[in-house]
Structure 1
Amino acid sequence: MIDDTGYDAYQHAQVEARAASADPHQLVLMLVDGLLDELARIEGHLAAGNLERKAESVTRCMDILGGLDTALDLENGGPIAEELHRLYDFCGRQLFDVSVKNDPAGLKVVHQVMSDLREGWQAMAA
């Protein structure tokens, strides 16, 4: 859910414009970047005790993970696609645990997994 401020609307328009012209590789990087940004927001919301906003950010992260997972070609992607599927599932379970317990400890694990994945995607582009 996007806030109704002008800045948020501008950011949303910028992301949509970048996504419209991005190749699949760039889209994955954009999604991972969005997930990493939301992880930081979750931590901030937990620190501030804003559980409603935390829940919204967790939902965004789960949606991003779901999008990344559904884009996998498990039939033709071989072991790499299967491993990515397991990683996305693991991250989703970690986020669920963070949300239920309101404990940010699991965020570090998800952040590390997704940061490592991002580095791999960037290396493939180079």
Structure 2
Amino acid sequence: MGAMHRLQAIRQYRDSSVDAAMAAATPQQLVIMLLEGALDRIARARCAALGNERAARLAHIGAAISVLEYLKLCLDPAGGALSARLALLYDFCLRHLVQANTARDVVGALEEVAAVLRPIKQAWDELPAR
């Protein structure tokens, strides 16, 4: 099997594993997975920024933006004050991620967003499973 086919097989396996995990997850677990994904993309964008890898930085920031937009979309409007506060925090993070692409201190902007998301994820982690 050629190197290209091995990479494709690995990607398909990884994608199917993620799909299977998502299909079996509760809504709470899905939110946790999405927050982990956003934090992972932000960390990857930070590494790319430190390595002066512009294309990778942009791709990871774009992926983090997509995850946060999805999380914001999934907020229940009937969720009251909690949903409204989460929407504001997600908006803050989205603005900072967009601005990170043009900021002088890209790493600082990314760290700011991660600092906002970590406690949110931790709160979801600590919720009792339903």
Q: Does TM-score exceed 0.5, indicating one fold? A: yes
Question: What does 1:17-96 correspond to in 2, within 5 Å?
Answer: 17-74=20-77, 76-96=78-98
CA distance in 2, matches of 1:40, 1:9: 24
SS of residue matched to 1:60: helix
- Specify the code of the residue in structure 2 equivalent to 1:49: N
Q: CA deviation at 1:43?
A: 0.7
CA distance in 1, matches of 2:100, 2:11: 26
SS of residue matched to 1:125: coil
Paired-residue identity, %: 29
Contact 2:103 2:109 in 1 (8 A): no
- Specify the code of the residue in structure 2 equivalent to 1:111: A
CA distance in 1, matches of 2:47, 2:120: 23
* Cα offsets for 1:89-117 (capped at 9, x unmatched): 00011111111226210111111111100
Q: 1:124 to 1:10 in 2, by over 3 A?
A: same
CA distance in 2, matches of 1:34, 1:10: 18
Moved more, 8-17 or 80-89: 8-17
Q: How many equivalent residue pairs?
A: 122
Which one has the largest radius of gyration? 2
CA distance in 2, matches of 1:8, 1:97: 31
Question: What does 1:107-126 correspond to in 2, within 5 Å?
Answer: 107-125=110-128
CA distance in 1, matches of 2:37, 2:52: 22
Gapped runs of 5+ residues in structure 2?
none
What is the RMSD of the two structures over their aligned residues, measured on CA atoms? 1.6
Gapped runs of 5+ residues in structure 1?
none
Q: CA deviation at 1:125?
A: 2.3
